[in-house]
Structure 1
């Protein structure tokens, strides 16, 4: 049984629709922290880091597809559609629980990052009026609770489209402002750090880059939704190439414009003009409407567990509406409380990227691939999988250590 949320419709998607779905699920708030990552790592190291992370993420997405295809060939009557199902088929019930736990925590972390981002930007826009950052976050709670009560993702689709339009327009305006500032100040590449002398900053920047490639848990759903699944790897490669190039250019433009003054959210660097303020408000609105979609996998898994508890207590399996409403409201409130204690978006994004996202995007796919294919893999494939696995574990350990030391 699939305990994760069917975020895509069961109707088969065309190549163009799948392209749109990939972009929507991969591109997130992390891109606005890339200029800060380039400042920490240097523009050469940052560019190479984003490229390596993009290629690695693409490769690990393919690993998931290959693993699911192998299981489908062995058990044609059983269709494994989710990340959790794959974990179950590799390591049993423990594998499912571990995979679902990482997905839930990663989604929670992403939702918290949204709230922190909105709070910091609103605080920047309305700084003269006094409310604290936490106050802006809690102002969103009633709205997000109401939107989390919407039953289906199809009903949220218009909000998602609006969010995507806001993000695209905002990124375009940010790049325009970056170029304008850079030209006015007359920057030189020699004035910007190419590769940082602080080696400890490289994993931090890498964590930010990993956080940028969101939506990894949607890989199997994206592939399964496509009409012609054979074209998925090529389409995924083309899409990732484009997204990675845009990420590099965006990070480069932001760092070149503001240099050592680059902040953890690049929009906070923009001059206080109507265009920059509209960008910040537009991004906040977009994320506000995207937030309920981030909660969907969490709510699905939580409500699935509640059903199991009711079944074990010989209660009705069907959850009442009141129970669902209360559980979803509690999720929003808890995330808002946690978000109010997060110090900075950049630090939090790097921590999430180097721990949860690294586990979900690198460690688990490589482990599944080695488990399922085993001796049938040639030497170079095993070596590559182990490199991905060890790198993912390193980032997870470093991210945890870095956060503890920071605290």
Structure 2
């Protein structure tokens, strides 16, 4: 879904936005590798590497202790739940564009979209989530082909001169947040590496996926911006001509967003259950599951409340791209840039060369600076947008 906002990042950052897309792919590839390296310890006598940790939180616990590691746990939850909110915000925006004459407001359409995701409360395992994600992947390919195909048919009118070299310092940090958010896969990497049949291929897998992702994202963003120029909107499908064509693509995007919602929602619910609902005395509250493996009625109710919580925030957060920039600037920079380098330095200090130590520090400092600036500007943009909505009302 984040591809939709990448042309907007090029609008604000010009060629530097494209450089940022490629650079973010390279940096997150590196930080993904060093994060997984923190899962292993080398036996000093045999020289054999053993996997002694299983998750991002386990790594944080080794460095910060069990209580401080909850910071990572909280950041993971925030990123997942904000991603759910993001999908609902997008659904509301797209449906209001699909049916402009219906008389329904964006808030009403967001509520309608939530009606279709509340049943996610009944999800019990990843098999059902995987089936929904398969539909999401199919819709993703179809939408990208349609958008790229349309852009290529207008190659004769591309706005080459509008791709600028200078950077809009007020908006580019927000764009950086969008770029970073499109690469935030680090919370899943330890589990992914642990589930691989041949773990020695992890680095190769990460190299190809991040390399191809960076290349495709840069091309998609560049081609779409060339097609629409400075008229590029924060969701690129809003630039498509004719109400019928735009409505068809937007409706397909709504389906994709609804099929994307279950994965972060399920992961967020699972994080809450592991933290608070594993049964006494292990956690504060009893288990969400009965002895027969079914969800308790009260647990099902709490899951529904979680979905309604995402709806509440989606209603009061007005802009898709600004929200994505805020999330990327906060949790994205921490989870994908700062913390992997920090943990790697603490755990592998005596095992890595000095040049790598310097590189880790540079990534940490750069990520922190971009994150802080992006948070401030994204939050300011959201406040301004919220005030604008109130003024219009």
| SS of the residue 1:57 aligns to | helix
Aligned partner of 2:293 in structure 1 is none
For 2:114 and 2:288, the matched residues in 1 are separated by 27
| 2:24 counterpart of 1:53 | yes
* Native 8 Å contact 1:107 1:295 kept in 2: yes
Partner of residue 349, structure 1: 324
Match of 2:80 among 76, 86, 107: 107
More helix by share: 1
The alpha-carbon distance between structure 1 residues 209 and 202, as it changes in their structure 2 partners (threshold 3 A), is same
TM-score by length of 1: 0.86
Residue 62 (structure 2) pairs with residue 92 (structure 1) = no
Compute the displacement of 1:72 (Å). Answer: 9.0
Contact 1:84 1:96 in 2 (8 A): yes
Corresponding residue SS for 2:187: helix
Partners of 2:266 and 2:16 in 1: CA distance:
36
> Is contact 2:5-2:234 (8 Å) kept?
yes
Q: Distance in 2 between matches of 1:221 and 1:135?
A: 38
Supply the distance in 1 between the matched residues of 2:319 and 2:375 (Cα, whole angstroms).
Answer: 16
How far is the alpha carbon of 1:314 from its aligned partner?
Answer: 8.7
Larger displacement relative to structure 2 (141-150 or 293-302): 141-150
Residue 233 of structure 1 is matched in structure 2 by 203
The answer to whether structure 1 residue 250 and structure 2 residue 223 are counterparts is: no
Report the CA distance between 1:362 and its aligned residue: 0.8
Task: Work out the CA distance in 2 between the residues paired with 1:64 and 1:49.
Answer: 21
Greater alpha carbon shift after TM alignment, 100-109 vs 142-151? 142-151
* C-alpha distance in 2 between matches for 1:218 and 1:368: 16
Whole-Å separation in 1 of the counterparts to 2:350 and 2:176: 32
SS at match of 1:217: coil
Alignment pair present for 1:362 and 2:337: yes
> Is the Cα–Cα contact under 8 Å of residues 311 and 317 in structure 1 kept in the other structure?
no
Structure 2: distance between partners of 1:318 and 1:404 = 36
Preserved contact between residue 63 and residue 365 of structure 1 (Cα < 8 Å): yes
Tell me the distance in 2 between the aligned counterparts of 1:313 and 1:338.
28
Other structure's SS at 1:70 match: strand
After TM superposition, give the deviation of residue 76 of structure 1 in Å. 8.1
Is residue 217 of structure 1 aligned with residue 165 of structure 2? no
1:290-315 Cα offsets, whole Å, 9 max, x none, are 21111122111212233267437997
Shift of 1:277: 2.7
CA distance in 2, matches of 1:77, 1:148: 38
For residue 200 of structure 1, what is the aligned residue in structure 2?
170
In structure 1, how many angstroms separate the alpha carbons of the residues matched to 2:286 and 2:265? 25
SS at match of 2:261: helix
Instruction: Report deviation, 1:179.
Output: 2.2
> Displacement of 1:134 after TM fit?
1.2
Determine the C-alpha separation between the residues in 2 that align with 1:75 and 1:91.
Answer: 26
Q: Is the 8 A contact 2:234 2:321 kept in 1?
A: yes
Give the secondary structure class of the aligned counterpart of 1:157: helix
Structure 1 residues 194 and 303: CA distance shift in structure 2, 3 A: same
* Structure 1: gaps of 5 or more residues: 1-28
- Deviation of residue 331 (structure 1)? 0.8
Is the 1:40–1:196 contact (alpha carbons within 8 Å) kept by the matching residues of 2?
no
The equivalent of 2:10 in structure 1 is: 38
Q: After superposition, where does 1:6-405 map in structure 2 within 5 Å?
A: 29-42=1-14, 44-70=15-41, 79-183=52-156, 186-190=157-161, 192-272=162-242, 274-307=244-277, 310-311=280-281, 317=287, 319-320=289-290, 321-405=296-380
Q: Aligned to 1:200, what secondary structure does the other structure show?
A: coil
Cα 1:104–1:89 shift into 2, 3 Å: same
Q: CA deviation at 1:169?
A: 0.8
- Cα distance change, pair 149–182 in 1 and its aligned pair in 2 (3 A): same
- Aligned partners of 2:313 and 2:364: how far apart in 1? 30
Give the Cα–Cα distance (whole angstroms) in 2 for the partners of residues 350 and 49 of structure 1.
14
Determine if contact 2:288/2:299 at 8 Å carries over to the other structure: no
Q: Is the 8 A contact 1:303 1:324 kept in 2?
A: no
Output the CA distance in 2 between the equivalents of 1:208 and 1:391: 16
Within 1, Cα distance between the matches of 2:82 and 2:287? 30
Q: Where do 5+ consecutive residues of structure 2 fail to align?
A: 291-295, 384-393
Q: CA–CA distance in 2 between the matches of 1:275 and 1:404?
A: 33
